Amino acid sequence: MDSKIVFVTMEELVKIKLNDLSSQVNGMIKEIDKLK
């Protein structure tokens, strides 16, 4: 039971990290578009 909770938490952390990363990438793309 505990290991399952840990797994779900890890999965959520990965999702949060991916969302964080994609928003950073989108921000960088917007900055690059401004420079063009």
| Confidence (pLDDT) at 7 | 80
Share of the chain above pLDDT 70, in %: 97
* Mean pLDDT value across the chain: 90
CA distances from 12 to 5, 19, 23, 29 (A): 11, 10, 16, 26
CA distances from 8 to 3, 13, 20, 21 (A): 9, 9, 18, 20
Q: Is the pTM of this model over 0.75?
A: no
Mean pLDDT of 11-20: 95
Q: Using the predicted structure, report yes or no on whether residue 1 has a pLDDT greater than 70.
A: no
